[in-house]
Structure 1
Amino acid sequence: MEHRPLSELSTVADVKIPKQAPALPKRERLDRWAELLERDPNHVLRTLDEIEWKPKAERLAMRADNSALTVAYSDPVLRSEGLLSDRFGDAVRFFEISEHDAHVVLCSCHGGEAMLAEEAARRVRGIRSPSLWGLYFGWFR
């Protein structure tokens, strides 16, 4: 038997590494994201520009430097749990949220080109607990 590094095996075989489900439950992943945002509540974050008007493929690939997603992706714990990038689609999958909920947290139409991290954290907590949306946002779903 010949031993080769995994990186070389993919050139001679169809190697598939099984994806593991995150160890943290959905609620804890969302709580961690909110807590990361709350560490610097006055930090100004960029929003994603008009998410709802983009074709699906473009929407899923959207990102912005210094966004709420950048804060999540900069966390080694969330990355080790499986957050693949700071792109919209990767966040929707990882946090197990709907595109609508991600839109509420991240889109420019809910507050302009930028928002404070404390506002982003409030929105994350709102999508985590939809029954409390009125408390977090002052409006109901």
Structure 2
Amino acid sequence: MKHQTVDQLNAVADVHAEATYLFATRGQRLERWAQLLEQDPDRRLGALAGTEYTAPDLRDRMRASGSPITVAFEDPVFRAQGLSDDSYGEARRFFELSDWQLHEIVCHCHVGATLPARWAASRVRAANSPGSGFFAWLRGVFMH
């Protein structure tokens, strides 16, 4: 293997400086996803239909063209760190989300057929906050 400087690599490849930073924690990955969504806050994103009613093996393969998950998959840093596609199951694995958390972000029953990227960003951040998930939701239903 031949040693090359960054300038030499730039001549033959598209080098992203941020790709060297490892988004090691779940929180860091979720925050980056939210930031990616906020880059084009009015972009209309597609939702996935009926994630809560789909059998787990089929749900894992579900995808929607131009979904919030697609925005994450478009990021070269996430792909370099192992995000292999824009499916529901891959997003759940990569971002370490529960089914309920990912359902809140991408399912059409919460957001309609499409949603602005800024809404998706707020939902991603909510999944990253302490006390998120099913029990926090349930507590919110009964406390309000």
Which TM-score bucket, shorter chain as reference?
0.7 to 0.9
The structure whose residues are more often helix, as a share, is 2
Paired with 2:88 and 2:123, the residues of 1 have a C-alpha distance of 15
* Root-mean-square deviation (Å): 2.0
Paired with 1:117 and 1:131, the residues of 2 have a C-alpha distance of 23
1:1-141 alignment runs, 5 A limit? 24-131=24-131, 140=140
Q: Deviations over 1:56-108 (max 9, x none)?
A: 11101000100000000000001111111100000000001101100000000
Aligned residues: 116
Q: Deviations over 1:2-31 (max 9, x none)?
A: xxxxxxxxxxxxxxxxxxxx7521111000
| 2:57 partner amino acid | A
Label 1:132 to 1:96 Cα distance change in 2 as closer, same or farther (>3 A). closer
| 2:36 partner amino acid | L
Paired with 2:96 and 2:132, the residues of 1 have a C-alpha distance of 18
CA contact (8 A) 1:83 1:94 kept: yes
CA contact (8 A) 1:24 1:81 kept: no
Paired with 1:23 and 1:83, the residues of 2 have a C-alpha distance of 12
Label 1:36 to 1:52 Cα distance change in 2 as closer, same or farther (>3 A). same
Structure 1 regions of 5+ residues with no counterpart? 1-21
CA contact (8 A) 2:30 2:95 kept: yes
Q: Displacement, 1:131?
A: 3.7
Q: Identity of aligned pairs, percent?
A: 41
Structure 2 equivalent of residue 10 of structure 1: none
TM-score of the superposition, structure 2-length normalised?
A: 0.75
Q: Deviations over 1:88-141 (max 9, x none)?
A: 0000000011011000000000021000000000000000004479xxx9x937
Structure 2 regions of 5+ residues with no counterpart? 1-21
CA contact (8 A) 1:60 1:87 kept: yes
CA contact (8 A) 2:23 2:29 kept: no
Paired with 2:123 and 2:29, the residues of 1 have a C-alpha distance of 14
